[in-house]
Structure 1
Amino acid sequence: MTPSSRIHPSRTQREAYEALKQVSLTTGKIAADAGLEPRLLELVQLRASQINGCAFCLDYHHDRAIAAGETEQRITVLSAWREARLYSPREQAALALAESVTLIHDGQLPDDVYESAIEVFAPEAYTALLWVLVSINAFNRIAIAGRYPVEARES
C-alpha cells in the first residue's frame, strides 16, 4: 500500500479537519495572549512530533521554528534537550510538559513536571500550553494515520 492510497482524513471528513484547524488557531491565539513565545511553542510542537514520529509535522514545525528565530543547533539536539544545556529553565519546563502530555499513557502527568511548569508559567500560559500540546498531538495522529507525505525541497 502506498501512502497516496491511504484515506486522507483531512480531505475525506473536511468538516472535522476544519474544526481541528480552528482549535489550533484558537490555541495559537490564547497562547500568544498568555505571553507564550513563538519559539517556545514551536519547540514543544517539534518535541511532541519527534516522540510521535510525525514526519509531516516535524517538517512543518521545523520551518516555523526557523522563521520564529530558532537555531538549527537547538532543533538538531532537541530530542536530547536535558543533556544539551541550550534551553532556559522555562523551555525545559515546557519540554518536560510536552513529553509528559504526549506520553500521558506512561505515568500520566507527574507532579514534579506539573510543579515545575506552574513555577514558570502563569495559569493562563500553562493552560494555553496544554491546549497547544493537545492540538499538536491530534494533528500528529491525523498526519501519521493518513501517511501525509514530506516532499524533498531544493536546498
Structure 2
Amino acid sequence: MSQINGCAYCINMHTQEARKLEETEQRIYLLNAWEETDLYSAKEKMALEFAETLTLIADTKISDELYQQTRVFFDEKEYADLIFLINQVNSWNRLSIAMGNKI
C-alpha cells in the first residue's frame, strides 16, 4: 500500500520492521511483483490483492468475486482485521505524505 501511495517514509519504516522480524530480503525485494512469484502463500497473495484493490477503490471497486475469494482465506474476524489494517496504513500514508515526512 505504501508503495502504491508513494510514501517513502512508510516504505522505509515497514522495510526496517520487516527485517527486525527476520523477513527475508528476497520477499522484501519482490513485494512489488508478488503476483509473479511463489515466495508468498496463497493467503498472503489474497491479502495483497485485496489490499491493492481497496487502496485503489476509486478505480477498481471490490467485486463480489474478490469478496468471495477473500472470504475463503479469512474468517469474519480476520477479514475485519484485514480491512481495518489496510485502511489504517492507507490513512497513515496520506498523513505522512501531507505532513511532508522524508526519510
Bin of the TM-score, shorter chain as denominator length: over 0.9
Structure 2 stretches of 5 or more lacking a match?
A: none
Match of 1:114 among 67, 72, 77: 67
Percent identity of equivalent pairs: 41
How many residue pairs get matched? 103
CA distance in 1, matches of 2:70, 2:22: 23
1:18-57 mapped onto 2 (5 Å cutoff) = 48-57=1-10
Structure 1 stretches of 5 or more lacking a match?
A: 1-47, 151-155
2:20 corresponds to 1:61 = no
Structure 1 residue 74: Cα displacement: 0.7
Ranges of 4+ aligned residues in structure 1 off by more than 6 Å: none
2:102 corresponds to 1:145 = no
Larger Rg computed on CA atoms: 1
Q: TM-score, normalised by structure 2?
A: 0.94
Q: TM-score, normalised by structure 1?
A: 0.64
State the Cα deviation string for residues 85-107 of structure 1 (Å, max 9, x = none): 21100001100011011001112
Q: CA RMSD in A?
A: 1.0
| Structure-1 residue corresponding to 2:49 | 96
1:64-79 mapped onto 2 (5 Å cutoff) = 64-79=17-32
Q: Which has the higher contact order (CA 8 A, sep 6+)?
A: 2
